[in-house]
Amino acid sequence: SPALTHVICKGEENGEATFSLSGGTPAYQVEWINNQGSLIKSETLNNPYVAKLEDLKAGIYKIRVKDINNCTN
């Protein structure tokens, strides 16, 4: 389930996105991708299962999640 904090003023980089993960089999491999298709962060979540990306500028971001059995979202 996502939670978003929008950028306060145009041009700033103070937005954030948070996702709580469930289902599948932990641990989760999480990749954050910007709107140009570039990987900007990769992390493995064990517990808690919360992925968070901070200091974002306005834009479109994607998250890819894979569990320990290689099942994807």
pTM > 0.85: yes or no:
no
pLDDT digits (tens, 9 = 90+) for 17-73: 999 998 999 999 999 999 899 999 999 999 889 999 999 999 999 999 999 999 986
Q: Is 64 helix (H, G, I), strand (E, B) or coil?
A: strand
d(CA 36, CA 30) in angstroms, rounded, equals 18
- CA separation, residue 16 to residues 12, 31, 71 (Å): 12, 15, 26
Per the rule left: phi > 0, alpha: psi between -120 and 50, beta: everything else, 44 is beta
